[in-house]
Amino acid sequence: MKHQREWRPVEGPYWTLIEAGSVCRKLNCGSAVSVESTETSSVRSMWKITPYCIYRNIEMICATSSISNSSLDLTCSDSVRLVNGSRSSLCSGRLVVKSNQSNHQWSSVCEANFDRQDAEVVCRELGCGAPSVLQGALYGEGEAPMLTREFQCGGNESSLLDCRSSDSAARSCSSGKAVGLTCSAPVRLVGGKSRCAGRGKGHPERSVWVIEPECVQSGSAVRECVMSNSSLLFVHLTCSDSVRLENGSSLCSGRLVVKSNQSNHQWSSVCEDDFDRQDAEVVCRELGCGAPSVLQGALYGEGEAPMLTREFQCGGNESSLLDCRSSDSAARSCSPGKAVGLTCSEPVRLVGGISRCAGYLEVKQGDWKGVSEFRWTLKEADVTCRELDCGSALYIGQERAQYSIMQSYADCVQFAAVWRNCITKNPTPFNLNLTCSDLLLQPKISVSSFMDGDSEAQQQVFRVVKGSTFTISCSIQPQYPGGSFQLTFTSSDSAHNYTQPAVNHSANFLFPVVKPAHQGNYSCVYHLYVFSHNFSSDSRLLFVNVLDPTPLIIRAVVLPLTLLLVNTGMYFYCKASRGQKPRIQKNTELDN
């Protein structure tokens, strides 16, 4: 680059094909094919250009002076490029060919003049994988003129313009016939048990590519996110192979799609009628997620995939959904709104603390492993507390661990919303310690009264007699020393609060003379100051029903007196009956 009247090499590290593509377009040299960093034996003056700056602007203001031994090597396709393709891939789009080298004129190609062997050459020239889709007008017609040449490639040429060609018999190309091409991504997993497990790019005996995580998260293809510098560390990756969840908010939620045909990689949705909770447990386990929490049809849309007509019959312990027994579904069609939508819980927990909402952060990936933080604030910690249903984050810290643990990056957590998707296996000796606002356990409330004796608040309704005595007890399992209990009382026309210190993690509230005004709802609230914050936790509500003793007294006197009078009358009646002479035979049984 010439900057400040001086030509210098550009310093190489951290560029990807996305930034390199901007340079190729500016030079009218087609698409970016490769970008690498070359090291020399000595350092020299260079221009350093940050990828973010050149991707946004590609102006000279991006260049700053630097001293380095690493320069950028960039290769463009020169004669072909794919335009208007997917934002996430340089390997798809409408084919455009440089038809005139002198004036840099680019032209589209007619579908009738292009076959699969020609496509193989283009994909290879662009540094992509084999062609997967070849269809006219798939990516628009474009404004470039239509090339009237028929290519006759053998399939092994390194460039499309190296192929033999001839003038096309058809001088014009009908609408919808401009070549649209999609090449597969040049990515593979090697050294694993299947094509869906192993190392991603490279071998341990040589340096490997570095892939920028944020670039992949933004939607770009893996190939476009490979940096120009290299590393000695490589990635081990395992995919689920046969199932995935689409259109969800995380890797553990979405519409269930199953690979219904292994040979042609066909994926299909599953009908809700053919899927139950045991099937869901297998899918969640296969995806490395926690137990299923929501199973509902059309929760994440219907999708465009065909509907699978198989009923799964999982026992619940299988490692893969395709390991389960299955049979053809009785219903060959699935009504709208019945495609399986599944949400699995996040395999996240806090351990070693005084409750499930405080302690060291761990995630399950095969085994439970600790997690460290990288530039975390309370904002990222809030994500974890919400996932655990533990309120908001109050405290984060690091403590030295006894073993190497994984890292989670703050930028990824803010972007992905579910931090489990953002962990890396970079070993670190520190473990994240997290405290959420729902730190305290729920206190218990119980009552002791004249009518019901001692009883815990499970019925939630208790009777006490006006003028009697009752006691409400508040207690909590031991977590921290100290604290206080607040007994809150609300009735139809008033509200009261009574406070006592927690002694041995409990407090008793005595009501010596029950009045009608004591009828209402009661609850225990435990208050505690710890970690420089005030915490509180509420018990369940208890309703106290105050009874008038007058009806009880009347019932206690009148009922026994009534029984006495009835028994006395029956006694004299029976005695008088025995003194009479026998009547006619037919009335004997009646008298008795």
What pLDDT is recorded for position 15?
A: 82
CB distance 408 to 415 below 8 Å: no
CA dist., res. 18 & res. 225, Å (int): 7
123 in the same domain as 175 = yes
178 in the same domain as 86 = yes
Give mean pLDDT, residues 529-541.
Answer: 84
Cβ count near 211 (within 10 Å): 19
* Domain final residue pick, 403, 436, 469: 436
Q: What are φ and ψ of residue 337, in 5° steps?
A: 85, 15
* Residue 499's pLDDT band (cuts 50, 70, 90): very high
pTM metric for this prediction? 0.55
495 in the same domain as 537 = yes
What pLDDT is recorded for position 147?
A: 80
Q: Mean of the per-residue pLDDT values for the chain?
A: 79
What pLDDT is recorded for position 264?
A: 63
Q: Is the pLDDT of residue 88 over 70?
A: no
How many CA within 13 A on the CB side of residue 562?
A: 6
| Residue 174 belongs to domain with CATH number | 3.10.250.10
- Give the highest mean pLDDT range of 212-216, 219-223, 425-429, 520-524: 520-524
SS3 (DSSP) at 99: strand
Q: Which residue has the higher pLDDT, 292 or 301?
A: 292
417 in the same domain as 394 = yes
Q: Is the pLDDT of residue 206 over 70?
A: no
Q: Which residue has the higher pLDDT, 141 or 346?
A: 346
The position carrying tokens 């009835």 is: 566
Per-residue pLDDT reduced to its tens digit, 111-121:
888 899 999 99
SS3 (DSSP) at 516: helix
> pLDDT over 70 for what percent of the chain?
78
CA dist., res. 96 & res. 104, Å (int): 12
Q: Is the pLDDT of residue 282 over 90?
A: yes
Cβ-Cβ contacts under 8 Å for 549 (sequence gap 6 or more): 465, 466, 467
CB distance 161 to 153 below 8 Å: no
What pLDDT is recorded for position 472?
A: 94
CB distance 433 to 443 below 8 Å: no
**Residue 403: C-alpha distances to residues 238, 365, 590 (Å):** 23, 16, 94
What pLDDT is recorded for position 234?
A: 72
Q: Is the pLDDT of residue 274 over 50?
A: yes
In a domain, 559, yes or no: yes
- Indicate the range of 171-180, 248-257, 343-352, 531-540 predicted with least confidence: 171-180
Per-residue pLDDT reduced to its tens digit, 548-586:
877 666 666 667 777 888 888 788 777 777 765 445 444
421 in the same domain as 478 = no
What pLDDT is recorded for position 354?
A: 77
Host domain of residue 568 = 551-592
* Residue 427's pLDDT band (cuts 50, 70, 90): low
Give mean pLDDT, residues 505-534.
Answer: 90
The DSSP symbol for 458 reads T
- Give the highest mean pLDDT range of 48-52, 129-133, 376-380, 452-456: 129-133
Quote the Cα angle for 224-229-233, to 5°: 95
Per-residue pLDDT reduced to its tens digit, 171-187:
567 666 888 898 887 78
CA dist., res. 235 & res. 226, Å (int): 13
SS3 (DSSP) at 555: helix
Q: Is the pLDDT of residue 29 over 90?
A: no
**Residue 447: C-alpha distances to residues 20, 95, 132, 472 (Å):** 75, 81, 73, 5
Query: Which DSSP string corresponds to 314-371?
Result: --S--SSGGGSEEEE-S-SS--TT-BEEEEEPP-EEEEESSSTTEEEEEEEESEEEEE
What pLDDT is recorded for position 587?
A: 47
* Domain final residue pick, 183, 207, 232: 183
Burial of 491 (0-12, 13-18, 19+ CB in 10 A): middle
CB distance 468 to 449 below 8 Å: yes
Q: Is the pLDDT of residue 106 over 60?
A: yes
Q: Is the pLDDT of residue 452 over 60?
A: no
Q: Is the pLDDT of residue 458 over 50?
A: no
Q: Is the pLDDT of residue 403 over 60?
A: no
Per-residue pLDDT reduced to its tens digit, 35-63:
888 888 888 899 888 776 765 555 556 78
Q: What are φ and ψ of residue 201, in 5° steps?
A: 70, 120
* Residue 590's pLDDT band (cuts 50, 70, 90): very low
CB distance 433 to 405 below 8 Å: no
For residue 125 the two structure tokens come to: 């020239």
Q: Is the pLDDT of residue 280 over 50?
A: yes
CB distance 98 to 108 below 8 Å: no
> pLDDT over 90 for what percent of the chain?
14
- Indicate the range of 54-58, 351-355, 364-368, 375-379 predicted with least confidence: 54-58
CB distance 492 to 520 below 8 Å: yes
Q: Which residue has the higher pLDDT, 282 or 190?
A: 282
CA dist., res. 190 & res. 196, Å (int): 9
What pLDDT is recorded for position 500?
A: 95
332 in the same domain as 252 = yes
CB distance 498 to 471 below 8 Å: no
383 in the same domain as 317 = no
In a domain, 234, yes or no: no
Q: Is the pLDDT of residue 420 over 80?
A: no
Query: Which DSSP string corresponds to 192-253?
Result: SSSTTEEEESS-TTS-EEEE-HHHHHTT--GGGGEEEEEES--EEEE--SSEEEEESSSTTE
Q: Is the pLDDT of residue 279 over 90?
A: yes
Q: Is the pLDDT of residue 359 over 70?
A: yes
In a domain, 35, yes or no: no
418 in the same domain as 393 = yes
Q: Is the pLDDT of residue 281 over 80?
A: yes
* Residue 450's pLDDT band (cuts 50, 70, 90): low
Q: Residue 373 pairs with which residues in a beta bridge?
A: 408
What pLDDT is recorded for position 456?
A: 47
470 in the same domain as 517 = yes
In a domain, 483, yes or no: yes
What pLDDT is recorded for position 121?
A: 93
CA dist., res. 142 & res. 111, Å (int): 14
Per-residue pLDDT reduced to its tens digit, 138-167:
776 666 578 878 899 998 898 898 899 887
Give mean pLDDT, residues 530-558.
Answer: 79
323 in the same domain as 270 = yes
Q: How many domains does the chain have?
A: 5
364 in the same domain as 313 = no
In a domain, 450, yes or no: yes
The position carrying tokens 């030295």 is: 400
Q: What are φ and ψ of residue 435, in 5° steps?
A: -125, 125
* Residue 330's pLDDT band (cuts 50, 70, 90): low
What pLDDT is recorded for position 91?
A: 85
In a domain, 129, yes or no: yes
CA dist., res. 321 & res. 284, Å (int): 10
In a domain, 533, yes or no: yes
420 in the same domain as 368 = yes
| Residue 519 belongs to domain with CATH number | 2.60.40.10
In a domain, 117, yes or no: yes
